A and B are shown apart, each in its own frame.
Chain A
């Protein structure tokens, strides 16, 4: 997840993610493509030499055989005669070769080779991508992400654009898209390897979904962004990737829940029109998705960190009216109205809350929690509606340990994921 990170954090994670992606892609590519013949260790080299010589001889024999068939065709006056003679010859040759084990296997190999149709090569271009990542990576260092969500002046617009270009983020999107497509192809190949073993198929599908989710949380659901772009571009407004895109999606989901009768397209159109209306006649305007979804006052969108020495009071409306919870998050502990819970990992490694942000606009509340292990983020939890936040806080208040989704240790795009079970236990 990329939201609520400082520019420095964001920049560093981006660079780290690119490094990890590059390593992972190269590993996958090497696995299937690279063959260092010098290193192919054959214990019986003389035997291999002999086998190779015979293979060459067999190839020559095939050429001779074809020549002989041509000769027969010239010799026999009728087609029936040719057919009888060539069939007989083929049968004799095949029978002789099939009498030897090696001959039999080679015939099978030839048949198989003839059946394989040449087609697209799934992992082609991978190296190229790796090189690209390497070349672009340098640009990430030193780049600054603008903090302003909704840039107003042309100068600010230019500054924002150039910062993003410098960072290469806009350029990375097609690259990640390509990586996603390559990874999908590789995974469908792996899926084949499962041979109907459901557990295996699920594992592969899980990895692919993880990758897709990461991509979507980073760059936004394509149809979502495209919908906004289509409407806003006509009005001289373009949408750029923002740090809070994931929050924007959560907000859209909330709006969809509130307007069950409206299709996603209608809803997007309405929000975009409304935003364009607020912005009036301003043109050459670049904004983020969350900028649109939270309206012009996105910078005033109340955000409260719950991390600290003192408890913060959090007000959420539920069916019974407005409820107040006193929440304090510090180190590995979260405290709700006096009830304390500590983070605990299955393997006993120390965990810590990194972020605990409470957002509220109108009646809609969201809570974002992130957990780190040795400084590296292992869990990112988004409670994107008042109902979910209420359920979470109420549960803790009543003393019940909530179920947390499994965390992921040192993973990116699901390539090298090590699942880690994280619990909140009563302290």
Chain B
């Protein structure tokens, strides 16, 4: 697997995994990242493009809810 810089910049600019502030941070970060790190970023964001967001977002929301509940209850574990 290799990095296509233009493609990666495009992914960072549009990925729903990132908020707008995070986009800017990643674009800055990219300039100091190693080849392997860039590959990983491209891989993660690439997988983010391929998931079905309509199905996955509610799942993620449910996971967050569950996590919130776990954290709330954890003191009595």
Assuming A35-B24, A40-B13, A41-B14, what are 11 further A-B pairs, CB within 8 angstroms? Answer: A42-B16, A44-B16, A47-B16, A55-B18, A64-B71, A71-B75, A85-B77, A93-B70, A100-B63, A109-B41, A189-B31
A65 adjacent to chain B (CB < 8 Å): yes
Contact A50:B9 (CB < 8 A) given known A35-B27, A108-B40, A109-B17 = no
A198 adjacent to chain B (CB < 8 Å): no
Contact A102:B56 (CB < 8 A) given known A68-B75, A96-B67, A109-B44 = yes
Contact assessment for A61 and B23 in the assembled complex, using a CB-CB cutoff below 8 Å? no
Contact assessment for B16 and A195 in the assembled complex, using a CB-CB cutoff below 8 Å? no
Contact assessment for A96 and B66 in the assembled complex, using a CB-CB cutoff below 8 Å? yes
Within 8 A of A (CB), among B7-61: 9, 13-14, 16-20, 22-25, 27-35, 37-38, 40-41, 44, 47-48, 51, 53-54, 56-57, 59-61
Q: List 19 A-B pairs, Cβ < 8 Å.
A: A31-B9, A47-B53, A47-B54, A48-B16, A50-B57, A51-B57, A54-B64, A71-B75, A89-B77, A93-B67, A93-B71, A101-B56, A103-B64, A108-B44, A112-B40, A117-B32, A118-B32, A192-B3, A194-B2
Q: Which of the listed residues A52, A85, A120, A122 has the most CB atoms from chain B within 10 Å of its own CB?
A: A52
Contact-size category for B: 35 or more
By a CB distance below 8 angstroms, the chain B residues around A57 are 64
Partner of B51, one of A42, A101, A121: A101
* Residue interface mask A56-89, B partner, CB < 8 A = 1: 1110010011001001100100000000010011
Q: Which of the listed residues A40, A71, A120 has the most CB atoms from chain B within 10 Å of its own CB?
A: A40
Partner of B60, one of A89, A100, A190: A100
Q: Which residues of A contact B (CB under 8 A)?
A: 31-33, 35, 37, 40-42, 44, 47-48, 50-52, 54-58, 61, 64-65, 68, 71-72, 75, 85, 88-89, 92-93, 96-97, 99-103, 105-106, 108-109, 112-113, 115-123, 189-190, 192-195, 197
Q: Which of the listed residues A32, A51, A92, A194 has the most CB atoms from chain B within 10 Å of its own CB?
A: A51
**Majority-rule SS of A interface residues:** helix
Distance (whole angstroms) from the CB of A80 to the closest CB of chain B:
15
Partner of B57, one of A47, A108, A112: A47
By a CB distance below 8 angstroms, the chain A residues around B34 are 192
Q: Which residues of B contact A (CB under 8 A)?
A: 2-6, 9, 13-14, 16-20, 22-25, 27-35, 37-38, 40-41, 44, 47-48, 51, 53-54, 56-57, 59-64, 66-68, 70-71, 74-75, 77
Contact assessment for B32 and A120 in the assembled complex, using a CB-CB cutoff below 8 Å? yes
Partner of B37, one of A72, A88, A102, A112: A112
By a CB distance below 8 angstroms, the chain B residues around A75 are 75
A-B pairs, 9 with minimum CB distance: A195-B2, A102-B60, A100-B59, A100-B60, A100-B63, A119-B32, A51-B16, A192-B35, A101-B51
Residue of B nearest to A92 (CB): B70
By a CB distance below 8 angstroms, the chain B residues around A99 are 59, 63
Contact assessment for B63 and A103 in the assembled complex, using a CB-CB cutoff below 8 Å? yes
Partner of A51, one of B3, B17, B32, B40: B17
Residue of A nearest to B68 (CB): A61
Docked pose: A55 CA to B41 CA in angstroms: 18
Residue of A nearest to B6 (CB): A31
Distance (whole angstroms) from the CB of A110 to the closest CB of chain B:
10
Partner of A102, one of B13, B41, B51: B51
Contact assessment for A35 and B16 in the assembled complex, using a CB-CB cutoff below 8 Å? no
Docked pose: A165 CA to B72 CA in angstroms: 72
Distance (whole angstroms) from the CB of A121 to the closest CB of chain B:
5
Residue of A nearest to B12 (CB): A35
Contact assessment for A37 and B23 in the assembled complex, using a CB-CB cutoff below 8 Å? yes
Contact A61:B67 (CB < 8 A) given known A102-B60, A117-B32, A121-B31 = yes
